[in-house]
């Protein structure tokens, strides 16, 4: 009987260990937040109403860290948005140096006046590729040093990679999975917000869109699936960060999947992990440490903290 009890105990421990190993990990913010960017001086385009919103963080060729952020509600023409840049020596350094306006919309290359949104930069080989919203399109630019970008133009002379007129495609981020690049972004056809993905073998030719997340506890309103950011934590284990609320009461939902093209559409079961009290997060791994960058609750700057997975 004692032997049988011991065997049953070992089986139970084995099952529990297996279940724990199969369970998604939860991201947790650890340590103190450090403010790295503030409300920028835009010269004659400065407005007391302006807000620092969607942004990208990356390390340039010279080792410095860069942030480009969309500043909305400025005195820029049209839709009142533009990009501003900051530079820091390390991720742990507070108060990065403001570097001025980095980019303004150019209608001649297909961007809506004042309609720039959400830059994301991908180091690829000896270049840096930027993906950003032009209001009706996802566009791209390239740089050799990770600081000075020039728009990539297609055969029509436009910076457009792909379009979704009237649906405001935005907040693109790109991840290499297997032999394909995956571009995740948000759009809201018929005012239903969702996370979409297109794939490409070369960062130039893109597939048709696939809806990969929508609805569930996060809702399906036009702003329920903003700022998608996907992390492959371990091989084949994917986590989607999906934003619902900016400013005070900020909320971002985290989803898990073993299929990078399915994080739950109108059904959270088996995918929803947790929520975080942050807006527009970017997830960074550097020297073995995970970090999270997010907007200040005031929408007047950007902050960074360490991130753990538990």
The pLDDT, as a whole number, for residue 1 is 47
Give me the residue spans of the domains in the chain: 27-309
* Global pTM value: 0.92
The pLDDT, as a whole number, for residue 156 is 94
The pLDDT, as a whole number, for residue 164 is 86
The pLDDT, as a whole number, for residue 13 is 37
The pLDDT, as a whole number, for residue 166 is 84
Q: What is the pLDDT of residues 143-188, one digit of tens each?
A: 999 999 999 999 999 999 999 888 999 999 999 999 999 999 999 9
The pLDDT, as a whole number, for residue 290 is 97
Specify the CATH architecture of the domain 27-309.
Answer: 5 Propeller (2.115)
Q: What is the pLDDT of residues 274-289, one digit of tens each?
A: 999 999 999 999 999 9
The residue whose two tokens read 């290359």 is 109
Low-confidence residues of the chain, pLDDT below 50? 1-21
């Amino acid at each position: 009987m004692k032997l049988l009890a011991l065997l049953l105990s070992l089986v139970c421990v084995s099952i529990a260990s297996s279940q724990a190993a199969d369970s998604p990990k939860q991201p947790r913010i650890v340590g103190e937040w450090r403010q790295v960017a503030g409300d920028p001086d835009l010269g004659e385009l400065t407005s007391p109403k302006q807000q620092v919103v969607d942004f990208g963080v990356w390390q340039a060729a010279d080792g410095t860290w860069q942030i480009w952020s969309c500043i909305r509600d400025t005195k820029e023409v049209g839709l009142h948005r533009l990009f501003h840049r900051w530079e820091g020596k390390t991720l742990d350094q507070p108060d990065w140096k403001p570097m001025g306006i980095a980019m303004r919309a150019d209608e001649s290359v297909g961007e809506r006046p004042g309609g720039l949104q959400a830059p994301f930069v991908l180091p690829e080989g000896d270049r840096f590729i930027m993906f950003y919203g032009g209001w009706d399109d996802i566009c791209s630019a390239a740089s050799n040093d990770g600081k000075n970008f020039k728009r990539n133009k297609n055969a029509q002379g436009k910076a457009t990679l792909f379009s979704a007129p009237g649906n405001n495609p935005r907040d693109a981020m790109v991840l290499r999975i297997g032999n394909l690049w995956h571009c995740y972004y948000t759009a809201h056809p018929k005012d239903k917000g969702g996370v979409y993905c297109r794939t490409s073998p070369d960062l130039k030719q893109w597939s048709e869109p696939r809806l990969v997340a929508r609805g569930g506890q996060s809702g399906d309103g036009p702003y329920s699936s903003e700022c998608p950011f996907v992390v492959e934590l371990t091989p084949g284990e994917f986590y989607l960060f999906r934003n619902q609320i900016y400013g005070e009461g900020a909320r971002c939902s985290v989803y898990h999947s073993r299929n990078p093209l399915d994080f739950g559409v109108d059904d959270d079961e088996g995918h929803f992990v947790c929520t975080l009290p942050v807006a527009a997060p970017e997830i960074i791994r550097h020297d073995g440490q995970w970090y999270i960058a997010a907007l200040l609750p005031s929408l007047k700057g950007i902050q960074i903290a360490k991130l753990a997975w538990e």
